[in-house]
Structure 1
């Protein structure tokens, strides 16, 4: 009998394993051949403290020191810049204030991102935004979990969940795992897991996010450029290993699956990128997609299910999984261990699964 069985081996599941391994025995079940195969493995991987809902920003702030220092830190300088035109000035200003960015002139914007078109008349940026070494962060959490005796199983798709008198029985990979408490960290599959356990789903719909990797503009080294967004986040671009990744920032509803990019959606996003640049996109090096899963109010869901306290949610990270992982997993462990969280009570309440009215499974 394990103390915790965690369904899902993305950043949510593996960070939960690290934290909960200090409270008892842990088994992680991941259906794919490796950890972080789906959304976690396809993230733009930026730490921007002022990005997201109120509760997300609180988690970002609470986890900033961990990202910067734990195990030597996982951050490297990147910066983030918002750009706009005269036509999008109102939307630009809304986003600038929300993200607390400092406005800069065109010459400075061109210095930061040399291929900006002349009609880009508005720019604002934050030099403190950082890249997250996502692979290293997952390795660090995994090392911590295994160091405390956690068992991490891949190729272990969950096929059945049963409530017992002492906890849960979970069928996965042809075996039955018994545990006192179950953690639902299954990403796009969180409602599937809830239904298997006989509990009410949250009512989430995974949203596809597509990415294209394109060559660096000829004569330019983009390695020191910031990540750049269009107003309303209808596209973004980011340097990536000597190339650029560009996303149309799409949010197309999808069933839980191993997602792939839609060619037309990518074409639209690349066209929006080109509208703001002095260069054309002539080819793609690669493309991919991931599923970002949000709760109905687009805030994370962390804590015990109101109908079944031994069923813990760590779900609906959306696009904020990596940057919220240190504080989110700590909150989960505090709640599981009966400790008072360091986060303010109003933030804990905003993340509580009990905030939703849910229909029966």
Structure 2
């Protein structure tokens, strides 16, 4: 039986970043169910860092992640971030949603409809009742980020097993026994970074029934609209999250911003959902959609309060949750990985106590506290 100080279940960006951070002074084993790392949500991310994205807790995590995204600790000398910008446009009936977003945000600039069109020339000015831009929104090099953490983990002696789907968890004599296809692995601490499967892993461990729900998000690649050069356009989106569009390798990625509850699975695009979302997008632009080159879907997993779940379980000793990141997983991974490592090392960490409390898995109605 293979033993380690920490077993991390899940090889997406959450699990790999936590494992790499821990491996400097712990023996770490990552168990990934798929044949490759980052197969699900990480590999299907929109790959953009938006400082004002999410609630107050998430914005604190975003801010805490910036230094590590700008100066990776894995030997790279280049920032993982590059300029992009995020433009939000509102129709008359979306003005309240825009005002709500602005109320809790910083670093935004209000634009006129014509200023918005100067940035994205296919927008219809007559449809724009309000617009703001966050210039500091940036693209994230997710591939390089995942590769960097993976290299850092391996350089520290950490191990990764792919195709290793966990089938059982039990606590015995102070150790977690993790079953995988007839083999067994043991560690005093298990990190549940299983993404859409985190709820099932928690159930296997007899942990708190954290209410996590995977939600499908669909996207498609369209040819550059009207032959425009999209490379310097910002990401542009409906203020009420009816759709968003992001330049992608000279083309345009458009998402209907759908959130359809799903079982944990290898998600696929729903043609009707995509068609409806593209129709909403078309109402705000001058160039119709004539062709979809490629479409896909991923699962973003949320707790009811839209805040990640990160902390030790109060029912299952040595079981640490690192789940429920929703659509914020890549951009919050640096901060959450450091939090996970600090909790396992029993160190204070750098996040404010109020943020740590907001993340705890015992915050829901079953909380014995």
1:294 shift after superposition: 0.7
User: 126, 129, 144: which one pairs with 2:134?
Assistant: 126
Mapped contact 1:206–1:294 kept (Cα < 8 A): yes
The aligned runs of 1:55-74 (5 Å cut-off) are 55-70=57-72, 71=76, 72-74=78-80
Post-superposition Cα deviations, 1:89-125, rounded to whole Å, max 9, x if no partner, equal 2332222333342111222211211101131242110
1:217 shift after superposition: 1.0
1:359 shift after superposition: 9.2
Mapped contact 2:202–2:209 kept (Cα < 8 A): yes
Using the size of structure 1 for normalisation, the TM-score is 0.97
The aligned runs of 1:198-213 (5 Å cut-off) are 198-213=206-221
Distance 1:189 1:74 in 2: 28
Post-superposition Cα deviations, 1:171-191, rounded to whole Å, max 9, x if no partner, equal 114321111111000000011
Distance 2:302 2:279 in 1: 27
User: 106, 111, 114: which one pairs with 1:104?
Assistant: 111
Distance 2:229 2:104 in 1: 30
1:153 shift after superposition: 0.8
Question: Within the alignment, does 1:117 sit opposite 2:119 as a pair?
Answer: no
User: 222, 225, 231: which one pairs with 1:217?
Assistant: 225
Distance 2:298 2:365 in 1: 28
Mapped contact 1:23–1:337 kept (Cα < 8 A): no
User: 245, 250, 269: which one pairs with 1:242?
Assistant: 250
| Equivalent residue, structure 2, for 1:35 | 37
Q: Is there any run of 5+ residues in structure 2 with no aligned partner, and where?
A: none
Q: CA RMSD in A?
A: 1.4
Mapped contact 1:96–1:102 kept (Cα < 8 A): no
1:273 shift after superposition: 0.6
Mapped contact 1:205–1:253 kept (Cα < 8 A): yes
Question: Alignment partner of 2:196: what SS?
Answer: helix
Mapped contact 1:112–1:226 kept (Cα < 8 A): yes
Post-superposition Cα deviations, 1:40-96, rounded to whole Å, max 9, x if no partner, equal 111101111111111111111011011011222211100000001234323322223
Mapped contact 2:205–2:316 kept (Cα < 8 A): no
Mapped contact 1:216–1:222 kept (Cα < 8 A): yes
Question: Within the alignment, does 1:324 sit opposite 2:332 as a pair?
Answer: yes
Question: Alignment partner of 1:211: what SS?
Answer: strand
| Equivalent residue, structure 2, for 1:189 | 197
Q: Is there any run of 5+ residues in structure 1 with no aligned partner, and where?
A: none
Distance 2:236 2:324 in 1: 25
Mapped contact 1:75–1:131 kept (Cα < 8 A): yes
1:201 shift after superposition: 2.1
Mapped contact 1:22–1:148 kept (Cα < 8 A): yes
Mapped contact 1:293–1:318 kept (Cα < 8 A): yes
User: 136, 156, 160: which one pairs with 2:164?
Assistant: 156
Distance 1:98 1:246 in 2: 26
Mapped contact 2:208–2:313 kept (Cα < 8 A): no
Question: Alignment partner of 2:17: what SS?
Answer: helix
| Equivalent residue, structure 1, for 2:280 | 272
Q: Give the count of matched residue pairs.
A: 360
Distance 2:294 2:202 in 1: 35
User: 232, 236, 255: which one pairs with 2:240?
Assistant: 232
